[in-house]
Structure 1
Amino acid sequence: MDAVLQVQVDGFRFENGSGSCCKPRNNNLESGTTNSFICFNESDESQSSNSSPTESTACSDYLPVFKYINDMLMEEDLEGQPCMLVDSLALQAAEKSFYEVLQDPSPPTSSDQIFGDLDQPNLDFVGFPEVTSDESMRRYRHRDDDDEDDDDLEGGRKTKLPAISTADELAEKYEEVLLICQKNTQGEASPNKTGRAKSSSNRSKQQKSDQPVDMRDLLMQCAQAVASFDQFRAFEKLKEIREHSSIRGDATQRLGYHLAEALEARLTGTMSTPISATYSITSMVDILKAYKGFVQACPTLRMCYFTANRTIFELAPKATTLHIIDFGILYGFQWPCLIKALSNREDGPPLLRVTGIELPQSGFRPSERVQETGKRLKRFCDKFKVPFEYSYIAKKWEDITLDELVINTGETTVVNCILRLQYTPDETITLNSPRDTVLKLFRDINPNLFVFAEINGTYNSPFFLTRFREALFHCSALFDMYETTLPEEDDCRTHVERELIVRDAMSVVACEGSERFARPETYKQWQVRILRAGFKPAKLNKLIVKEGKELVKQRYHKDFVIDNDNHWLLQGWKGKILYAVSCWKPAKK
């Protein structure tokens, strides 16, 4: 008899192909804690081996994904590989920066560039000297509360103004504009230098007495100083924020820490270089470990995959060939559950064709990582005896043509795009929106089904302060969600926050123009785009919505909310909508 194979990785124990993992106790779900876990076997998660896949259990079993991840962790040379998405975004940013260097300067044509000038006025015309972050901090540390020192510093500035007759008038007008802007945003005029000195001394007294602070208010004040190019006040606020924030603290402290990092990057221009030079890359092993912990504690990504897979499974119960064109396949985590469900189909599994589409990776082999995803899926299909074909494309999505997708006659075709279209540029970058171009390609494919899921985000405004305020509210909800559902000292939580919050927040806060790669929209804005591209809504099966609600109610925290708005399945936390899933079919031309 063969020796029993036992593998244990981060709490998941697999023995001769059977799996076990952990889920929170129901009583802890009600109390809001998830530190205590109980083990459950495959029979607790799914009865697919003893039931028909057409029943409600189809695609709800998530253990195939854990087995798939376990196989990945057994691979060699995995530790040194970066995250596929970060590597792709870094390459895109580098290409855009290099392209802009080669191009001649031209007048701004996009609304993002035009509106950006309102939030970031050019100070050269009034003769303000360029001040680096180090110089600003040195000046700040040597500032006194005495008004004479402020007058000397102000006098030093005036000596550097150009000797033109209109310089003083322009400077006065610029200060008046700043006062009006701050009246509109704060309800009061900007404090003078004496007021700043007094408020600084008051804050020092508060810090010494360890009085609580309003972190959101501090962050907004710092953002206002950054937007008005008041570097002294901005660094003053950053110092105060850092005294009350921590990367390992509670939700509010982590929120302050990471957004302060983003604001400082905007001040110092750190993010003007490609993301790979400033963003510490998380290894693939850490991402896999974080993913397993994340899906146990938060249902958001699992519900996106469950809704998509169940709808695809019910689309073609008699299909002989199922062709899935997956835009943003990454590691293929979505498909193990569907593969297992197809293997149990009464008439036998169909031929599963998957076209994996990703952005190119850096290096001499831009398609290597997406090829590896196909090999992993092939090995997984072989275990369940599902016929499988795989093809891949690694290029910018807006440059893909219909002929490259190789769609055969008579096959059931599905276009799948989960949480990735927000990284495609929109019309604020170029007049011919790449985002609309990709949606038009989806329509030209003429699929039997188009499955779409995205973040419900409102932080895509061309105005920095508006964008920062919306990002602040969105990130606050996410940090609160992870604090409630993930242990505070767990490295898994740090990696999840880094990949799902910090990366996009850094882009939204610190970057402008083509360097800002995260551009989310609300689900209603996405609906307008998709309708304009030539699709019509496909109603979600009420049974799928009901099962999703039951799944979240039984296994996850009580503050997770699942609801539907017509053909949209909405996921939220404490009443705030965070994710939206929908299905579409081509409209008749």
Structure 2
Amino acid sequence: MEIDQFSSTALNLKEILVGYGSAQEDVFKGQESFSGMKLLGPIEDENGTKLLKDEDQKQLQEPEVDELLEEFNCGHDMQEFNETTEPAKHDVESAEHNKQVPPLLASLELLRNYGSRFKRLSEQNITKPSLDPHQISTEEIMRVAGARYVQYSAHWNDSFCIPMHPYGLDFGGLSEEENREVELVQFLLGAAERVGCQQFERASKLLLHCQLNSSANASPVQRVIFHFAQALRERIDRGLGRMTAKGSEKNEEVELIQKLDTKVALTCHKNIPFNQVMQFTGIQAIVEHVASETKIHLIDLESVSGVHDTVLMQALTERQDYKVQLFKITALALSSYKAMIEETGKRLARFAESLNLPFSYNAVFVTDFAEIRKDDFEIGEDEVVAVYSPYFLRGMVSRPDCMENLMRVIWNIKPVIMIVLEVEANHNSPFFVNRFIEALFFYSAFFDCLGSCMNHENECRMKIEAVLSEGIRDIVAMEGRERKVRNVKIDVWRRFFARYRMVEIGFSESSLYQAHLVNKEFAFGKFCTVDKNGKCLLVGWKGTPLHSISAWRFL
């Protein structure tokens, strides 16, 4: 029996797969039309003098608080998870609310654009950028599968008959193994579409094929399919009542990251270019903004390893004109990480001593980040403050009140610069299928990177992929308040930061030079792409942005 095409449902995977890329910004156009804003503090001083340059003023013409929190949380998605055999009520309401771009059309556009990008690459003869000339990248496999799925999903049926020829696009250059992987991805897409339509039994049949033919220790494509299939299976079990949803305030992905042992962390740091490219770029920017200061205070937001701190220490000791009288670090962390943070402090103190650098380390421990207060940081009157935020704010997107409190505290401290590292992805859609496709292509690029950079470090690679798997699980299997992974792109952060009179300042040519110089040191550095987006940098893999690094000052 032929499977329904679900044309009347609120969610349809084919519509997501049609238009990714430039069209993705239009998907949430209804939620992103902003006008007016309220700022903390005056725009003019007491004498009526204009405080902002025209360029700065333009950056600050952004949304009201309620509109921006809707941008972060996509209010419809904050309801408790409650799937039935019918389309979820909040999805139907969201579709009605966002009439400018219906979820069906938006979904179809998302997937079709992925496929069309592969076609453009084929025409440019750059479809095989990996070191192995006989193998295309993991993300490109996904694009081919998306294109095929959009064009031929109508021919799928419950006995798993999949038309293999012709496809309407020239994919004849794929190997037999690559074609099998494309076919397997099609099963995954089919399962996701049916899950989005609450057709769990049909989804289970397709998903079983994925699980039987993928492994956590096979090719990057199979590994991606394996982890996404696991997450889909859990979502199905929840939808059928086989698994009870348990609320938790913990972000399991962040917990696993913090608990990675030193060997894995160092191996990752040594082999994958992303962290070092962004660290050296950010540290160079901080050094430039405290160039004439002798007492420097760095507020480190929940960074356990302190690797970037050692880079900053070395840079400060190399200064010729202004000898550092005191370098102070205040680490902010949850009480559960107290032992690790204190050990990091001791290690940094020993390193500072070896450099003859006057050093002070303080740790602020809280049971909840909502408890943060300005007085916790003990800022000296003659100290200049910089803030380093490595992937910290993403964990607060699901907690707007906590985010508001933190940003007000930082605004009151008035650092000379704030460096923000974040994941460059849109994993915060209220629609399951949108999140699924965004996550599928994002993690495909990440797994492709791990497959190249850590090919000979199998044990470490699998531990890192276990962390990524938790992120996939959170995005795909969870719903409502249970979902902690809510990555948003730099444009969303810009709108949010504008509320706190934060102005993006960009990076100097020296910082950009540092980024490219570091990148060249890696064996696979040529696949790590560094591109400018406005004044920030987007760091990615084979052209797919994965991370952003931006610099800000407070007015």
TM-score in terms of structure 2 length: 0.66
Note if contact 1:416-1:452 (Cα within 8 Å) is conserved in structure 2.
Answer: yes
Note if contact 1:436-1:533 (Cα within 8 Å) is conserved in structure 2.
Answer: no
Structure 2 equivalent of residue 136 of structure 1 = none
Note if contact 2:77-2:479 (Cα within 8 Å) is conserved in structure 1.
Answer: no
Q: Which amino acid aligns with 2:389?
A: C
Q: How far 1:201 sits from its partner (Å)?
A: 10
Matched, 1:241 2:215: no
* Residues 1:352 and 1:125: Cα distance change in structure 2 (over 3 Å): closer
Structure 1 equivalent of residue 395 of structure 2 = 423
Distance 1:405 1:325 in 2: 8
Structure 1 equivalent of residue 379 of structure 2 = 407
Q: Which amino acid aligns with 1:486?
A: M
Structure 2 equivalent of residue 512 of structure 1 = 479
Note if contact 1:539-1:583 (Cα within 8 Å) is conserved in structure 2.
Answer: yes
* Residues 1:284 and 1:243: Cα distance change in structure 2 (over 3 Å): same
Matched, 1:114 2:76: yes
Distance 1:515 1:504 in 2: 12
Q: Which moved more, 1:379-388 or 1:549-558?
A: 549-558
Distance 2:493 2:106 in 1: 34
Structure 2 equivalent of residue 388 of structure 1 = 359
CA RMSD after TM alignment: 3.6
* Residues 1:326 and 1:567: Cα distance change in structure 2 (over 3 Å): same
Matched, 1:258 2:227: yes
Structure 1 equivalent of residue 304 of structure 2 = 330
Structure 2 SS opposite 1:519: coil
* Residues 1:336 and 1:200: Cα distance change in structure 2 (over 3 Å): same
Q: Which amino acid aligns with 2:180?
A: P
Distance 1:263 1:319 in 2: 53
Structure 2 equivalent of residue 351 of structure 1 = 326
The runs of at least 4 consecutive aligned structure 1 residues that moved more than 6 Å come to: 116-119, 180-184, 186-192, 200-203, 275-285
Note if contact 1:456-1:522 (Cα within 8 Å) is conserved in structure 2.
Answer: yes
Q: How far 1:184 sits from its partner (Å)?
A: 7.5
Distance 1:423 1:586 in 2: 22
Q: How far 1:571 sits from its partner (Å)?
A: 1.0
Distance 2:486 2:523 in 1: 29
Distance 2:539 2:376 in 1: 35
Q: Tell me which of 191, 196, 202 is aligned to 1:222.
A: 191
Distance 2:432 2:338 in 1: 36
Structure 1 SS opposite 2:335: coil
* Residues 1:489 and 1:533: Cα distance change in structure 2 (over 3 Å): same
Q: Which moved more, 1:220-229 or 1:298-307?
A: 220-229
Distance 1:486 1:574 in 2: 16
Distance 1:116 1:196 in 2: 35
Mapping of 1:432-471 within 5 angstroms?
432-471=400-439
Deviations 1:536-589 (Å, cap 9, x if unpaired)? 1223111220232133135342121112233212212111111111111112xx
Q: Tell me which of 306, 312, 323 is aligned to 2:286.
A: 312
Matched, 1:575 2:518: no
Q: Which amino acid aligns with 1:198?
A: S
Q: Which amino acid aligns with 1:414?
A: A
Unaligned runs of 5+ in 1: 1-109, 127-179, 204-208
Note if contact 1:112-1:513 (Cα within 8 Å) is conserved in structure 2.
Answer: no
Q: Tell me which of 499, 502, 507 is aligned to 1:535.
A: 502
Q: Tell me which of 450, 464, 469 is aligned to 1:496.
A: 464
Distance 2:482 2:270 in 1: 34
* Residues 1:337 and 1:122: Cα distance change in structure 2 (over 3 Å): same
Distance 2:520 2:307 in 1: 23
Q: How far 1:530 sits from its partner (Å)?
A: 1.2
Structure 1 SS opposite 2:180: coil
Distance 1:125 1:307 in 2: 46
Matched, 1:231 2:209: no
Distance 1:333 1:377 in 2: 9
Matched, 1:272 2:222: no
Deviations 1:487-530 (Å, cap 9, x if unpaired)? 1562121122223x222111111112222111111111111111
Q: How far 1:319 sits from its partner (Å)?
A: 2.0
Q: Tell me which of 346, 369, 374 is aligned to 2:345.
A: 374
Note if contact 1:120-1:227 (Cα within 8 Å) is conserved in structure 2.
Answer: no
Q: How far 1:325 sits from its partner (Å)?
A: 0.7
Structure 1 SS opposite 2:261: helix
Aligned residues: 410
Deviations 1:165-223 (Å, cap 9, x if unpaired)? xxxxxxxxxxxxxxx9699758799989xx844337999xxxxx997142432222111
Matched, 1:550 2:512: no
Q: Which amino acid aligns with 1:383?
A: S
Note if contact 1:183-1:189 (Cα within 8 Å) is conserved in structure 2.
Answer: no
* Residues 1:241 and 1:313: Cα distance change in structure 2 (over 3 Å): same
Structure 1 SS opposite 2:298: strand
Distance 1:280 1:452 in 2: 17
Q: How far 1:301 sits from its partner (Å)?
A: 0.7
* Residues 1:494 and 1:187: Cα distance change in structure 2 (over 3 Å): closer
Q: Which amino acid aligns with 2:210?
A: I
Structure 2 SS opposite 1:334: helix
Name the larger-Rg structure.
1
Q: How far 1:244 sits from its partner (Å)?
A: 2.2
Unaligned runs of 5+ in 2: 1-71, 89-102, 109-148, 165-175
* Residues 1:197 and 1:258: Cα distance change in structure 2 (over 3 Å): closer
Deviations 1:427-460 (Å, cap 9, x if unpaired)? xx6xx54334322322121111111111101121
Note if contact 1:416-1:450 (Cα within 8 Å) is conserved in structure 2.
Answer: yes
Matched, 1:360 2:335: yes
Deviations 1:285-311 (Å, cap 9, x if unpaired)? 963222222223221111121112112
Note if contact 1:561-1:575 (Cα within 8 Å) is conserved in structure 2.
Answer: yes
* Residues 1:542 and 1:262: Cα distance change in structure 2 (over 3 Å): same
Note if contact 1:419-1:454 (Cα within 8 Å) is conserved in structure 2.
Answer: yes
Note if contact 1:116-1:463 (Cα within 8 Å) is conserved in structure 2.
Answer: no
Distance 1:333 1:120 in 2: 43
Note if contact 2:415-2:554 (Cα within 8 Å) is conserved in structure 1.
Answer: yes
Structure 2 SS opposite 1:264: helix
Note if contact 2:390-2:422 (Cα within 8 Å) is conserved in structure 1.
Answer: yes
Q: Which amino acid aligns with 1:571?
A: V
- % identical aligned pairs: 23
Structure 2 SS opposite 1:367: helix
Distance 2:255 2:293 in 1: 42
Distance 1:284 1:442 in 2: 23
Distance 2:106 2:546 in 1: 32
Q: Which moved more, 1:443-452 or 1:227-236?
A: 227-236
Structure 1 equivalent of residue 121 of structure 2 = none
